[in-house]
A and B are shown apart, each in its own frame.
Chain A
Amino acid sequence: GDSVTQMEGPVTLSEEAFLTINCTYTATGYPSLFWYVQYPGEGLQLLLKATKADDKGSNKGFEATYRKETTSFHLEKGSVQVSDSAVYFCALRNPNYTGANSKLTFGKGITLSVRP
């Protein structure tokens, strides 16, 4: 079945450092890929998405490129801020399924802490 693997955490960085969070996936067909973020005390929010190979999703300075050849969707940000401290989840949704069967498959999530 479909699966998502994220790098082990937690990750602690200093403000303005470069961030990479690795995500790889296994899926049949051509899934859509997502990064969700959960800030402390809040729900899961969509951060960015990409729906086909070589698409780049971007939002709030974060970027991720859909790499079909390496089945990856790594999240990057050039200069993190304290306000980026959160839990980040990589996820996929397989459009091969119709109806409400197109559920999200999540990775384990990784906690990012950014020090001032």
Chain B
Amino acid sequence: EPEVTQTPSHQVTQMGQEVILRCVPISNHLYFYWYRQILGQKVEFLVSFYNNEISEKSEIFDDQFSVERPDGSNFTLKIRSTKLEDSAMYFCASSKGTGGTGELFFGEGSRLTVL
């Protein structure tokens, strides 16, 4: 069964360093998302991406964050200069279509620890 894959599963980095989290969405999906979950808190929407551009982003997704689909298969989330509060589990998701009823397929998550 097709699945969304994420790498790395866990990354530890120093504050101020750049981090890139990678995702390979399901191949025939067109819509891509990043969510994050800080330990003990809600899963929060970060950004959605369609047709090679950001469709929507949350207040969390500030100038330190960027997304890219560099080669038609990978979908990356970059954090330019990590802060302690960026420590979280980051989930990538993809879907075939939009609207209110479609299913999002999630990856297993990438745990980011900022020291």
Residues of A within 8 A of B (CB): 31-32, 36, 41-46, 49, 51, 89, 91, 93-109
Contact = CB atoms under 8 A, between A and B. Distances in A.
Contacts of A97: 100
A108 B42 contact: yes
Contacts of B42: 106-109
Contacts, number: 77
Interface of B: 3-4, 6, 31, 33, 35, 37, 41-45, 48-50, 55-56, 91, 93, 98-109
B48 A100 contact: yes
A98 B100 CA distance: 8
Q: Give the one of A42, A93, A101 with max B CB within 10 A.
A: A93
A48 to B, nearest CB: 11
A103 B56 contact: yes
Nearest to A105: B45
Contacts of A91: 43
A103 B33 contact: yes
A30 to B, nearest CB: 8
A33 to B, nearest CB: 10
